[in-house]
Amino acid sequence: MQTHILGYPRIGSNRELKKACEQYWSGKITLQQLQTVSKNITTQNWKLQKEAGIDLVPCNDFSFYDQVLDMSLVVGAIPKRYHEVAVKSNSEMDLYFAMARGYQKDGLDITAMEMTKWFDTNYHYIVPEFYKNQEFKLFSNKIINEFEGAKQAGVKAKPVIIGLVSYLLLGKEKEEGFDKLDLAKNLLPVYIEILKDLEARGAEWIQFDEPFLVLDLNEKAKETFQFVYKELRKQFPHLKILVATYFDGLKDNLSLAVSLPVCALHIDLVRNPEQLDEVLNAVPENLSLSLGVVDGRNIWKNDFETSLNFIKKAIDKIGTDSVLIAPSCSLLHSPCDLDLETNLDSEIKNWLAFAKQKVDEVVMLKELANGNAIEKSEENQKAIASRKTSKLIHNEQVKQRVNSVTEKDAQRENEFSIRKTKQQKVLNLPLFPTTTIGSFPQTTEVRSWRAKFKKGELNAQQYDTLLKEETEKTIRWQEEIGIDVLVHGEFERNDMVEYFGEQLNGFVFTKNGWVQSYGSRCVKPPIIFGDVSRPNPMTVYWSKYAQSLTEKWVKGMLTGPVTILQWSFVRNDQPRSETCKQIALAIRDEVSDLENAGIKIIQIDEPAIREGLPLRKVDWQNYLKWAVESFRIASTGVKDSTQIHTHMCYSEFNDIIQNIADMDADVITIECSRSQMELLDAFAEFKYPNEIGPGVYEIHSPRVPSKEEMVELLRKAEAVIPANQIWVNPDCGLKTRHWDETRKALEAMVAASKEATIAY
């Protein structure tokens, strides 16, 4: 029996990588200094896992930005528009970051590659771009370098590589007339070249991540899986290839998965424990099974009893030697180290495990399965039992309120067309009204105030005054440049979920529980451990203050229930739908309080609705039903004349447009610019009746858009959506941007809206 890890967090337990990357981007440290940081992180990770007793320690799970982008660089899938960056900068790293973030230097002005969610997680990857007959060639030595790096640290590592088929399926065809899977034949030689090199350097195990094996697959994809792994087997009869699946069960792809001529198959028994029996019955004799029993996506302590039952069942059926024990997926999605949490309530802390602790759990499970260390099992069972009965968790009133929600509680007074007229009367907005998504730059200064306030170096009043000044400046500035619907800027918020969680009962916070979201951006998801309720208003103070400063409308700004759920670590002792409705009721109360405080426009952000979709289509409607209902519970307790906005990022809505319409927000703002308004087509075809703000510029990079390009996008929008339904706004919030570029971009945006209006 062997233990292994599918991937370890790479940000460093104190976010060293984030800090180093950002310093490198702003020219404060050199490439060499950046590389030193990465070397320290990887070396620490390898040693930690090895010393804990993990048999197969992963390498190539590190990345400066994203592992999919790494792969694109490795196989030379570099879109033409970046070739000049390579020439001008003469640096692989700068080329890499240009692909990730865009490039505005040396007389070049190139947009970043598209980014999208990694399956149903809040991690984002850079989407590979594919062309007809595309040729690949080994471009970056990253995989080999990491394998050698691990060797130097005394670890013969297991390289983790995105499987060929999943890599292709993650990408996007950038021209017509071919299927990305056609490229498998061209890509395979590069994979073979890499494996040859790794084998020659002594690699024994290779992990290919093929998460697409848990998704709905067409015939062509299935054939490609067969083709690729047969070829690899032919070339490498001695390499131990492990194919890793995660985030759902194999289900109808089971026979395909077990037929691949590889050494081991990893399955996710946290997401889909039901699959174990079926898989065990189907596993052929020479295929080992890696049991993903420790939850890589959540922070709860493993229940050893449950895991051991799985492990024993597997051992009985296929024998000890054919069993591997592992977390369910890469620990990329877990925070690094629970030991750093010195402020957590000790009762709650005893229910948790982060990446480092999960590594120990994996090792412990092997020990226990071998009949050793029984006392560890008793300790574990005590912790599990204490969570089931703890008074911290259960609140009867909350449970009852959720049970008594009726359909009427989830419905506006009148349909949209009636509301639209009433809202127009009150709000009196122009054609192509401009607004922003909510946050304005969280400068180092703003963040330093919060840090000082937390440390006690600023008292509450001083902190409040500073925030008020910043808010007022922002309001004045928005007035000056002529934005129609203002926002207060969200300076008081650290993060759009954390801010609410901190004020709700049932949540707990970590000091250092960071998880990578995209590139250098990390989030610190709250932990929902108990029934959720709202002891006090959460945002009324700031919205009311901001509104008091101006004659223009200021949007109230809330995070929606599905997003709060989706971006938190959620309790696993009741259905997610139940927890979501509890949050929805808390938000509903907040919406009412805002309305009563005179706020006429209230935005309830739901950027995470789509990422919450189950990976298999058959499971969608069930999820969407409670997700949409939760949004409606949160948003419908207002008068017709109060305008409800919602906002979503990276959303491809084609297949769920009916559900988006069912949410019935008066205005929805969406990310659209990177797709050149393509994402609007779904709304157009559906004849979506409510108002829409398709983002007219990209906010993930510092690049300043021109007025002309935004006018161009608006023209595209009005070609498919009636003009009186269109709002003008950026793709998303501006908290990660600097003021300088924000000012220029929004001035140009207002000018673009004016120009678009002239046509009417």
Stretch that binds ligand GLN, among 65-73, 126-134, 392-400, 728-736 (CB under 6 A): 728-736
Q: How far is the CB of 346 from Zn ion (least distance, A)?
A: 37
Binds Zn ion by CB under 5 A, chosen from 607, 637, 695, 730: 607
| 270: partner contacted, choices Zn ion, ligand GLN, none (Cβ within 5-8 A by kind) | none
Mask: binding to ligand GLN, 345-384, rule CB under 6 A, as x and -?
----------------------------------------
Q: How far is the CB of 490 from ligand GLN (least distance, A)?
A: 6
* 66 annotated to a ligand binding site: no
Is the CB of residue 110 less than 8 Å from the CB of residue 103? yes
Mask: binding to ligand GLN, 586-615, rule CB under 6 A, as x and -?
-------------------x-x--------
Binds ligand GLN by CB under 6 A, chosen from 194, 732, 745, 752: 732
Is the CB of residue 670 less than 8 Å from the CB of residue 687? no
Rounded to whole angstroms, what are the CA distances from 92 to 41, 78, 141, 691, 716? Answer: 20, 11, 10, 44, 36
* 59 annotated to a ligand binding site: no
> Site residues for Zn ion, window 638-657 (CB under 5 A)?
649
Determine if 679 is a binding residue for Zn ion (CB under 5 A): no
Nearer to ligand GLN, 510 or 539 (CB): 539
- Please report the DSSP string for 625-665 in residue order: HHHHHHHHHHH-SS-TTSEEEEEESS---GGGHHHHHHH--
Q: How far is the CB of 732 from Zn ion (least distance, A)?
A: 3
Stretch that binds ligand GLN, among 114-122, 163-171, 401-409, 431-439 (CB under 6 A): 431-439
Alpha-carbon span 330 to 335, nearest angstrom: 12
> Site residues for ligand GLN, window 555-584 (CB under 6 A)?
557
HSE value, Cβ hemisphere, 13 Å, CA-based, for 665:
26
> Site residues for Zn ion, window 707-746 (CB under 5 A)?
732
Q: Six-digit token pair at 535?
A: 């002891």
* 580 annotated to a ligand binding site: no
Nearer to Zn ion, 183 or 732 (CB): 732
700 is known as an active-site residue: yes
Mutual angle of helices 540-548 and 460-481, in 10-degree steps: 50
Picking from 142, 232, 141, 234, the residue whose alpha carbon sits closest to that of residue 195 is: 232
Determine if 647 is a binding residue for ligand GLN (CB under 6 A): yes
User: Tell me, what amino acid is at 642?
Assistant: T
Alpha-carbon span 585 to 627, nearest angstrom: 13
Determine which one of 124, 394, 700, 738 is catalytic. 700
Nearer to Zn ion, 320 or 676 (CB): 676
Count of chain residues binding ligand GLN (CB under 6 A):
12
Phi-psi sector, 455: left (phi>0), alpha (psi -120 to 50), beta = alpha
Distant-in-sequence, close-in-space partners of 89: CB < 8 Å, separation ≥ 6: 95, 98, 106
* 92 annotated to a ligand binding site: no
571-574 contacts at long range (C-beta below 8 A, 24 or more positions apart): 571/300, 571/393, 571/528, 571/529, 571/530, 572/295, 572/298, 572/300, 573/387, 573/388, 573/393
Q: How far is the CB of 302 from Zn ion (least distance, A)?
A: 34
Q: What is the helix (H) or strand (E) element at residue 158, kind and residue range?
A: strand 158-162
Stretch that binds ligand GLN, among 203-211, 258-266, 433-441, 704-712 (CB under 6 A): 433-441
Alpha-carbon span 202 to 194, nearest angstrom: 13
Bridge partners, 603 (sequence order): 557, 645
Determine if 439 is a binding residue for ligand GLN (CB under 6 A): yes
Mask: binding to ligand GLN, 649-678, rule CB under 6 A, as x and -?
x-----------------------------
Nearer to ligand GLN, 569 or 650 (CB): 650
Block residue for tokens 């309530």: 345
Alpha-carbon span 536 to 37, nearest angstrom: 43
How would you write 372-414 as a 3-class SS string? CCHHHHHHHHHHHHHHHHCCCCCCHHHHHHHHCCCHHHHCCCC
Alpha-carbon span 20 to 391, nearest angstrom: 43
| 700: partner contacted, choices Zn ion, ligand GLN, none (Cβ within 5-8 A by kind) | none
* 662 annotated to a ligand binding site: yes
**Which residue ranges are tagged as binding site for L-methionine?**
437-439, 490, 605
**Which residue ranges are tagged as binding site for L-homocysteine?**
437-439, 490, 605
Q: Give the active site residues.
A: 700
Q: Which residues bind ligand GLN (CB under 6 A)?
A: 437-439, 496, 557, 605, 607, 647, 649, 732-733, 735
**Which residue ranges are tagged as binding site?**
15-18, 117, 122, 437-439, 490, 521-522, 567, 605, 611, 647, 649, 662, 671, 732
